[in-house]
C-alpha cells in the first residue's frame, strides 16, 4: 500500500485530539464514571461498588456485590514463586517497579492469560484487582525485613490493604478516606497510562501485557508519580511561615509545582476538592495539620499568580502521609485503584477493536542519496 501524507493540524502531546470512543468515563462537565458523577459515587459507594461498575458496566445489586467481593477475596493471594522473587529483589527496587514485575509474573500463573474473550478478561480483571494490593504489601514488608501479612476474608478492599501493610487494623476514618481516594483514582478517560493499555491490546495483545505497559506509563512524574512529588514540595517548604516566600521564589525560577494544573481541568479538579476534605480530617487526627496549612497558602498563591489549581495528587499525597504511608507507596496505590479503569478500557477496546496506529509529521532532512563509504572522506 502506498504511503500517504498525514492531513490535519499537528497537536503536540495529542492535546485536544479525539483518539477514540468510550462509554466508560467522561471529563466533560465534571468527571463521570458510566454516567455517575464521581462526587455522587464517592459519597454513596465503597470502592468495590465502583470497581464493579467500571469493570462490569453497572452498579451491583446486593447479591452481585457480595459475589464480587467473595471472588476477589478468594483471589487475594500470590503464587509462592512470586513471593520468593519479591523477597529476593534488591532492597533499592522501587515499589512500582516491583509491582510491574509482579503483574508480568502473574501472567505466567494465570491459565487464561492468552484468552482475550470478554468473559476471560472480566475474570482476569477481578483477579488482578485482588492480587495487585497483595503484591504491593508483600514487597513493602519484605523490603523492611518483615514477613507478609495474609489478607483477611472479613475485611474489605481498603481495610485489607492497610492491614497487610501495617499488621494492624486501620480506623474507620482511615478506611473511609482511603476508600474515597481509590474511587477518585479509579478512572480518568484517555490519560497516558490508559491510552497505553488500549494501544497495547489494539494489537491483540493480552490484559497482563497492557497493565505492565500502563504501569510503565504511570511511573512518570507527569502522571502517576506526581502524588509522590507533592510531599517533596511540602517538605522543601518546611513551615507555614516559609510557605508564601518559598512558592513565590519557586515560581520566579519557573519551577513546575507538582500537584497543580491539569491538561483537561483548567479551573480546578473536582476530585481534589473532594479529597481535600478527607486530607484535612485525617491531618487533625494525625497531628499533621502543618502540611494542610502550608498547602492552603500555596494554593492561594498558585491561583492568584498562575491561575492554576490543585489536581487530585495534591491532597492525595498529604492524605497518605497523614496515614503514615511511605512516599514510594503512593503511585502503587494509584495502580491498585486504576486497575479497574484500565481493565474496563482493555475490554472496551477489544470489543470493537481497531489497531491504534497514528501518523507522524516528518521534520527530518529532505531526500538524499547515499555516498559510497570510500567517497565520504576521513581516515
Specify burial of residue 105 (Cβ count, 10 A radius: 0-12, 13-18, 19+): middle
Mark whether 313 is an active-site residue: yes
For residue 179, indicate whether it is catalytic. Answer: no
Query: Phi/psi class of residue 189: alpha, beta or left (left: φ > 0; alpha: ψ in -120 to 50)?
Result: left
C-alpha cell at 122: 472480566
**CA geometry: angle 190, 195, 197, nearest 5 deg:** 135
Kindly name the residue from 262, 269, 321, 345 that is annotated as catalytic.
262
CA distance 135 to 149: 11
| CA separation, residue 359 to residues 3, 197, 225, 310 (Å) | 10, 19, 28, 34
**110, 138, 179, 313: which is the annotated catalytic residue?**
313
Say if residue 136 is exposed, middle or buried (CB neighbours under 10 Å; 0-12, 13-18, 19+).
buried
Name residue 33's beta-bridge partners. 25, 36
Q: In 236-258, which positions are buried (b, 16+ CB within 10 angstroms) versus exposed (e)?
A: ebeebeebeebbeebeeeeeebb
CA dist., res. 112 & res. 207, Å (int): 10
Residue 325 backbone phi and psi in degrees, to 5: -85, 135
Q: What sections of the chain are H helices per DSSP?
A: 38-44, 47-56, 62-74, 80-88, 95-108, 118-143, 157-166, 172-185, 192-201, 207-218, 226-237, 240-252, 270-286, 289-306, 313-322, 330-351
**Catalytic residue ranges:** 262, 313
Amino acid at each position: 500500500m502506498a504511503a500517504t501524507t498525514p492531513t490535519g493540524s499537528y497537536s503536540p502531546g495529542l492535546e485536544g485530539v479525539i483518539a477514540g470512543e468510550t462509554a466508560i468515563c467522561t471529563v466533560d462537565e465534571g468527571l463521570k464514571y458510566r454516567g455517575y458523577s464521581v462526587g455522587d459515587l464517592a459519597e454513596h459507594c465503597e470502592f468495590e461498588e465502583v470497581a464493579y461498575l467500571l469493570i462490569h458496566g453497572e452498579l451491583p445489586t446486593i447479591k452481585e456485590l457480595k459475589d464480587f467481593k467473595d471472588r476477589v477475596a478468594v483471589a487475594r493471594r500470590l503464587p509462592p514463586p512470586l513471593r520468593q522473587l519479591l523477597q529476593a529483589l534488591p532492597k533499592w527496587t522501587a515499589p512500582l517497579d516491583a509491582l510491574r514485575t509482579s503483574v508480568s509474573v502473574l501472567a505466567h500463573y494465570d491459565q487464561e492469560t492468552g484468552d482475550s474473550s470478554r468473559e476471560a478478561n472480566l475474570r482476569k480483571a477481578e483477579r488482578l484487582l485482588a492480587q495487585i494490593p497483595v503484591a504491593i504489601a508483600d514487597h513493602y514488608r519484605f523490603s523492611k525485613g518483615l514477613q507478609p501479612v495474609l489478607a483477611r476474608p472479613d475485611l474489605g478492599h481498603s481495610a485489607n490493604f492497610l492491614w497487610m501493610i501495617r499488621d494492624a487494623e486501620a480506623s474507620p476514618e482511615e478506611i473511609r478516606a482511603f476508600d474515597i481516594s481509590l474511587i477518585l483514582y479509579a478512572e480518568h478517560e484517555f490519560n497516558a497510562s490508559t491510552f497505553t493499555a488500549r494501544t497495547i491490546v489494539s494489537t491483540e495483545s493480552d490484559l497482563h501485557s497492557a497493565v505492565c505497559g500502563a504501569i510503565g506509563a504511570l511511573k512518570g512524574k507527569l502522571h502517576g508519580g506526581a502524588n509522590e512529588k507533592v510531599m517533596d514540595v511540602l517538605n522543601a517548604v518546611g513551615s507555614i511561615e516559609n510557605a508564601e516566600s518559598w512558592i513565590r521564589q519557586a515560581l520566579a525560577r519557573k519551577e513546575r509545582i507538582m500537584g497543580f494544573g491539569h491538561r483537561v481541568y483548567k479551573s480546578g479538579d473536582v476530585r481534589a476538592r473532594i479529597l481535600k476534605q478527607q486530607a484535612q480530617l485525617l491531618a487533625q487526627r494525625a497531628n499533621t495539620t502543618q502540611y494542610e496549612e502550608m498547602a492552603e497558602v500555596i494554593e492561594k498563591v498558585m491561583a492568584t499568580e498562575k491561575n492554576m489549581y490543585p489536581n487530585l495528587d495534591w491532597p492525595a499525597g498529604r492524605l497518605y502521609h497523614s496515614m503514615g504511608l511511605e512516599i514510594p507507596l503512593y503511585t502503587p496505590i494509584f495502580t491498585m485503584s486504576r486497575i479497574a479503569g484500565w481493565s474496563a478500557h482493555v475490554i472496551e477496546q477489544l470489543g470493537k477493536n481497531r489497531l491504534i496506529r497514528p501518523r507522524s509529521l516528518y521534520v527530518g532532512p529532505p531526500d538524499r542519496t547515499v555516498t559510497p563509504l570510500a567517497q565520504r572522506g576521513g581516515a
